[in-house]
Amino acid sequence: MRFADVTLAGPTEVTAFYHDVLRLPVDGDAIVIGETRLHFRDTDRGAFYHVALLIPGDRFDAAHEWTRGRVELLGDVFESDDWHSRAVYFHDPAGNILELIAHRGLAENGRSGDFIAEELVGFSELGIVGDPPELLRRLEAVGLQLWDGTVAEPGRLAFVGEPGRTVILAPVGRGWMPTGRPAEPHPVELVLELDGGPVPLSL
């Protein structure tokens, strides 16, 4: 699974942050993040999302330095033994909770030296807020599978797709790491690249 195209609600002027601060290329109205094209549609200026961007698994330390030189981090480094990952979090100007995450052994590029924006692989995670069992049914209908978490217990997160490229299903009000801000449902349009080709979704 790959996140080919993602459209989120939010102020279009936030695009300048991704270009000027994170140094990501912009093509028309699309922010180009490796394999993912990100768009903002100025339809709900109060919307916010959880988004994780994938770092090569062998480049976390360099990416950490690169990030903290540009933004104020939300806490320190977060590590997961279960996911073999390390991550840092920060906000964009629209209030989206952004995460840079590296999974050991995934998308490693063998580079050394300073990190550059072009090394970002693409979206790693996107949080979708609503009724997790119903959202899971819709994702299973296009061939995706639950690989961690559960929809059977209230308040839990469910992780759909695969390690490193995951749709996170969250119930309304569940706190997002690391701030604990309650999750809110806001529209998402996706094009996922699956084995059978591109799959558009509106969630």
**Domain-wise residue ranges, the chain:** 2-202
Lowest mean pLDDT among 22-31, 42-51, 79-88, 143-152: 42-51
Q: What is the pLDDT of residues 91-126, one digit of tens each?
A: 999 999 999 999 999 999 999 999 999 999 999 999
**Read out DSSP for 104-117?**
TTSS-----SS--G
Burial class (CB in 10 A: 0-12, 13-18, 19+), 193: middle
Specify the pTM: 0.95
- Binned at pLDDT 50, 70 and 90, residue 144 comes out as very high
The SS3 assignment for 148 reads strand
Report pLDDT digits (tens) over 23-35: 999 999 999 999 9
pLDDT at position 182: 97
| Domain 2-202 class in CATH | alpha beta
Alpha carbons 86 and 119: distance in angstroms, whole number: 16
Number of CB atoms found within 10 A of residue 196's CB = 8
Q: How many whole angstroms separate alpha carbon 159 and alpha carbon 148?
A: 5
